[in-house]
Chains A and B, each alone.
Chain A
Amino acid sequence: MPSVYNWQLGRDMSFPYGNAPGGLQFAFVFNINRCIGCQTCTMACRSTWTFGRGQEHMWWNNVETKPFGGYPRFWDAKLLTMLEEANPGKQVWGKGGGGTDAPYGTFNGMTIFEAAEGYAGPAGPRRALGYIPTADEWAAPNIFEDHGRTLADALPSDARLPEHKVWFFYLARLCNHCTYPACLASCPRNAIYKRPEDGVVLIDQSRCNGYQKCVEACPYKKAIFRSTTGTSEKCVGCYPRLEGRDPLISPNGEPAETRCMTSCVGKIRLQGLVQVDDRGNWKPDATNPLYYLVRERQVALPLYPQFGTEPNGFYIPPRWVPRPYLEQMFGPGVQRSLEQYACPDRELLACLQLFRAAQQIIFRYEVIKGPKVAEVPVTMPDSSTKIQEIYNDTVIGYNKLDKECVRVTIKEPTFERDRMKHANSI
């Protein structure tokens, strides 16, 4: 198998095809500290693309409650178990990291592509380790999630589940438009392709024969089979919007963010396009907000980078969640990310203001500095308190045509005094 460079693993890895062509790549950052699980993104996607008959299971975007939930159910626990069985005790990260070529160090374990090498099961050779979820697992998103009691009621009376103290978070997911897509690698019909203009991964419906190899191979389970057409479908990255062809949002051809991104109530989402070189690595550009958050500050981390597809969705991890769980999910960059996010300096705070400030894709931003307006004590990942300084900075975002599309000015925090204590308050 040819070898490609995966910057998230800090090493070369085998992949059935060569490097993805350089150019622009679709990418997004989710700040899951702020997701309230309202599912507005899910419904925005459904009402745009998948409201037809036969698309009942087509949740291109879903939001699941971790640690228990998932759609299809147990998707990540199942694959992590399969990888562990393929390479027992060795799915580990090496020490070090921090450079541009290997920001999280080196992953010494096996990716889904490497674990499938030499595999000859009953269904013949495979290109990626995976499985096809059962009908039960696809049956309903969010089943039993957030409502543990319902699950307890469904269990036989002598069954006991372990209880842990309350901690959980909402994980919003969609296709990561991976640099090395397992769906594409596994398709025997070459029906799946990655667009050179924006890295969006699409399934050609006229070529797809419904073999479901992509459903089996995608580690994130974001290629989904549709029984009414006998083909598989997946997120299309709202490509007309990326191309600036939405007549309402982009009258002058400016690329706009996808429907799920722009509808986010919690303002947790920022999506854009980054420049990639012909090795699949991101070209340095600290004025692009995604580059700044992912590569420069390393505050946003890939979801299960160890799977090896080089996903282009990145997450700011929730800071109240036990570290081992987060490290399994986002790799070794968690501590560094949380330390910066919990008490952001003025540069990071300014960049974070761009989340859901505009519908157009921000290609470049700049910050105009203002005076300090407040000092606020905030909670650090180890539960200690640190002082965050807030400046009256203004952050300006520019679209593809380099025209200003948004301007956000940070103001001092406001405090409401207790009415009972201050009877004459206005």
Chain B
Amino acid sequence: MLNPILVQGIEPGGQLTTTTEVENWPGDSEVQGPDLMIRMQDHAKAMGCEIIGDIITNLDTSKRPFTATGDSGTIYTADAVILATGARAKWLGLPSEEAFKGFGVSACATCDGFFYRGQEIVVIGGGNTAVEEALFLTNFASKVTLIHRRDELRAEKILQDRLMKNPKIEPLWFHQLEEVVGEDNPKGVEAVRVKHVETGEITEIPCKGVFVAIGHAPANELVKDVLELHNGGYVKVEAGSTRTSIPGIFAAGDLTDHVYRQAVTSAGMGCMAALDAEKFLAEHDA
């Protein structure tokens, strides 16, 4: 038996515990994010995994067995480590943004776009993420306003061209989000107030959805100085595997993936990491 130990971290169940309906999990046409994660946890336990409520504060990868230090003071030594620490969407930090998260404010167009069929929405940002999200959201929304602080985008030229040609997208230059405006009963977004960065003039834009698309940050703190990273801090794995630059350390999910960032792709990579770790142990500890 491999008898894995899983350390949960500060957010047991991960990002899906912060959302409501998940509509693209195979076998469930609709499932609540927290319920899905409880089922996954129960499944892991039933298969003999020990799940521990602790946070890893340090990981020594210089020699095998690897040594992880828990916030509790517990030291975990392991012949192989699977890193699945995920990623976080970057937020603007406005109180009104926080208040309407999950009720009209989102950082994931693929996850929440279909809620806005035929409605007007805004996207905040000017990089690849923002332009990709804006383009994707035109599949559902009647109009997408892209709000950006400058008068030019940081996104790749090809994406910019597609954005400019799309009749459903209207860029609003030199503006930044000041406030999300909404109702409490039922809770939902009604508009955003945006400020012109030079004149300070405030404009209100009616909308039902606000997509904050200012990037993602992988949770790479434990390994950022020891593992090879790419694309702004995502852990680099060998193509078609979960092997990192240190033998015996594997990485899966949003920590390695700046492209797909979905529950099902993360779970798929988790499966790959387990099989890769098992193979590694069989080869090295036989």
Is the pairing of A and B real?
Answer: no
Binding site for A on B (CB under 8 A): none
